[in-house]
A = this chain, B = another copy of it.
Amino acid sequence: MNLPPLYAVVLAGGSGTRFWPASRRLRPKQLLPIGPSAPLSLIRGVVDRLGGLVPPERVLVATGSHLLEATRRELPELPPAAFLAEPRARNTAPCIGWAAFVVARREPDAVLCVLPSDQHATDAEAFRAALAVAATQAAAGRITTIGVVPTRPETGFGYLRKGAALAAGVHEVGAFVEKPDAERARQYVASGDYLWNAGMFIFRARDMVAAIRRHLPAMARLLDAVDEAAALGEKAEQQAVARFFEETESVSIDYGVMEKESGLALVVGDFGWSDLGSWEAAWELAARDALGNAAPSGSVLVDSRRNLVADLRSSAAGRVIALVGVEDLVVVETDDALLVMRRDQSQAVREVVDALAARGDAQLL
């Protein structure tokens, strides 16, 4: 069977504070050179990982208006029309719906691969293979998701329960499962029946349009208005898009569509996936020396172990970072901040951001 045209819809609207001081309101995680893609940004890694599977002219990037310029700089090969600028954050359903309607206008049978922009996969080939399997399912009319084989009883992710087998490595989705507690997470992982929900969805444009009409009819009407306005010209389209984001509900694609659909396919993915959810995760994925340190070359490490050092200043020339007798730290420098943190306290970086917000240090957020 020949596959229909494949589109990628890269979701790059995320903000987030877990990588402060590297991440900021105008420089969210996906734009940072963290993890194994460094010195490339995460979003650059996501697009590069598509390889030949999706050509640049069929890559769409949904991002916040305030991030548009910075995101374009990361992906200079993409044409201006590739960027869907969200005037305000409305969770994932509106931007995925928008992308589906836009593609459906021209190629209703095209298959869209929705990919979060802030994840990493170490095995790009396996990633593309899973995507191709998912695209085959999608081309046959099934809204499909890729579930990631869990490597630990993570309580920070939702899970996908496998349903009936459809093909090799493909199941029906048995259920979307909320983030579990620790005990339940252990059971999920031990059973082998659960995969991590990594937010990757693959579907024909026409199928998503139909699903939105079924489950989110008000949103569908606003998107129809965008379609109609698009026929009148760019300015009319922009106004309709603004109205869409003004009036549509804020809802995730999981809750708004996926959990209400039946007959979804689930492709088992095992390609060294990580959501790089914290500095701790960045350390885990980083290239490390024999003592477990990940630090810029030129750093001087004396009797120090298992540290992550990141120098993200705009000009790092002629400067040295020295560690003496320290273990399990995260040390991050930017032009305007220095963070020194116990690695296993990475979640608490949020408290720094809260403290800065409370005292009105807006430029540091």
Spell out A's residues near B (CB within 8 Å).
21, 300, 302-303, 318-326, 329, 331, 333, 335-342, 344-345, 348-349, 351-352, 355-356, 361, 363-364
Contact = CB atoms under 8 A, between A and B. Distances in A.
Contact of A336 (B318, B331, B335, B342): B318
Tell which of A303, A324, A325, A356 has the most Cβ of chain B within 10 Å. Answer: A324
A136 to B, nearest CB: 46
A21 B322 contact: yes
Contacts of A333: 338
Contacts of A355: 300, 302
When all copies of this chain in the complex are counted, the total is 2
Given A322-B339, A323-B340, A324-B349, 20 more contacts: A21-B320, A21-B322, A300-B355, A302-B348, A302-B351, A302-B352, A303-B345, A320-B336, A320-B364, A321-B338, A321-B340, A322-B340, A322-B341, A322-B349, A323-B341, A324-B339, A324-B342, A324-B345, A325-B345, A326-B342
- Interface of A, secondary structure class, is mixed
Given A338-B322, A356-B320, A364-B320, A348 B21 contact: no
A364 to B, nearest CB: 6
Contact of A331 (B302, B320, B340, B364): B340
B321 A348 contact: no
Nearest to A279: B324
A331 B338 CA distance: 10
A119 B31 CA distance: 49
Given A300-B352, A300-B355, A352-B302, A342 B325 contact: yes
A331 B330 CA distance: 13
Contacts of A344: 325
Contact of A352 (B324, B337, B361): B324
Nearest to A299: B338
Contact of A329 (B318, B326, B361): B326
B341 A325 contact: yes
Residue of A331, A338, A342 with highest tally of chain B CB at under 10 A: A338
A338 B338 contact: yes
Contact of A326 (B323, B340, B363): B340
A325 B351 CA distance: 11
A76 to B, nearest CB: 30
A21 B321 CA distance: 10
B348 A324 contact: yes
A311 B15 CA distance: 30
